[in-house]
Amino acid sequence: MSQQEQLLNLNLKVWRQKNRKDSGHFEDYRLEGVSTDSSFLEMIDQLNEQLVAENKDPITFDHDCREGICGSCSMMINGQAHGPEKQTTTCQLHMRSFKNEDTVVIEPWRARAFPVMKDLMVDRSSFDKIIQSGGFISVNTGNAQDANAIPVSKENADLAMDAATCIGCGACVASCPNASAMLFTSAKISQLALLPQGRVEAEERVSSMVKTMDEEGFGNCTNHAECEASCPKGINLSNIARMNKEYIFSKIKGK
């Protein structure tokens, strides 16, 4: 154990749900000897090892890269998406953010468009459908063009890159009282709409993506700004304004 490492004893309240039809409930667990150097997911791994040793069903949760770039590790921790640290995914949250004998409440995302599959795992395929509805961009394949063949201002390039950092975790939806997906959708629209390569299908893209977003059951934006506050990548609300502008232009053009 390192000099700064400490061991925590925790009281955990974890949401357990067998399937989509099950009403679900919280179960209480006592977990001792949790290293402050552990990540939050490693703490759940430790709990699952304890449950398996007791011949109990381990907790189901999503995870993949555990490097903060895939968005799989989505869960509500003490009522906050991804936990108490700003711009941090659950897998990058460390147990040093908690204190000995803390009670930690762990829940799945809560949104009609994100039905719970089991325990902390939700179905986020609605996000995939929104992206798929955006179609493609008309960029020829083959050799790369010369660097200056398509000039892009640094401001637009920076804004497009910022929007492209969205990992599609769904924290914006889970945090919004309306379960709105407008921050996610606008980020995916902005990363293309700001660049000349994405302008060709811009009107069709925004119209189709907004239509799919509504069909999937997400709510509308009423400027609570919880989405930006909970986003682990700090996606800015200005993307929603840009999407609204793009959408109005598409309707003016009859798209």
pLDDT at residue 142 tops 90: no
What pLDDT, on a 0 to 100 scale, did the predictor assign at position 149?
Answer: 77
pLDDT attached to residue 145: 67
Q: Quick check: 139 pLDDT over 80?
A: no
CB 33 within 8 A of CB 26: no
Sequence-distant contacts of 44-50: CB under 8 A, at least 24 apart: 44/106, 47/12, 47/14
**Residue 253 confidence class, pLDDT cut points 50, 70, 90:** confident
pLDDT higher than threshold 60 for residue 2: no
pLDDT confidence bin for 179, thresholds 50/70/90: very high
> Among 193, 195, 217, which Cα is nearest to 207's?
193
CA–CA distance, 177 with 16 (Å, rounded to integer): 23
141 band by pLDDT with thresholds 50, 70 and 90: low
Give percent of the chain with pLDDT exceeding 70: 95
At residue 184's C-alpha, the angle toward residues 112 and 178, to 5°, is 40
- Residue 117 scores a pLDDT above 70: yes
CATH 3.10.20.30 location in the chain: 7-107
> What confidence score (pLDDT) does residue 4 get?
77
Q: Would the pLDDT of 161 be above 80?
A: yes
Mean pLDDT calculated for residue range 11-39: 97
Provide the β-strand partners of residue 80: 77
10 Å CB burial of residue 102 (0-12, 13-18, 19+) is middle
Residue 1 has pLDDT above 60, yes or no: no
CATH H-level, domain 124-252: superfamily = Alpha-helical ferredoxin (1.10.1060.10)
The band of 5, judged by pLDDT with boundaries at 50, 70 and 90, is: confident
Bridge-based pairing of strands 116-118 and 7-16 is unpaired
> How confident is the model over 171-195, as a mean pLDDT?
96
Q: 3-state DSSP: the chain helix, strand, coil percent, rounded to 5?
A: 35, 15, 50
Pick 9 or 135 by higher pLDDT: 9
> Confidence band (pLDDT; 50, 70, 90) for 200?
confident
Q: Is 199 exposed, middle or buried (0-12, 13-18, 19+ CB in 10 A)?
A: middle
- CATH number 3.30.1370.30 is the correct assignment for the domain at 7-107: no
pLDDT value of position 130? 97
Rounded distance between C-alpha atoms, residue 52 and residue 40, angstroms: 19
What is the pLDDT, as a whole number, of residue 140? 67
Q: What is the mean pLDDT of residues 134-158?
A: 79
Separation of alpha carbons 52 and 67, rounded Å? 26
What integer pLDDT is reported at residue 153 of this predicted model? 92
pLDDT tens readout for residues 148-159: 678 889 999 999
- Asked whether the predicted pLDDT for residue 116 surpasses 80, the reply is yes
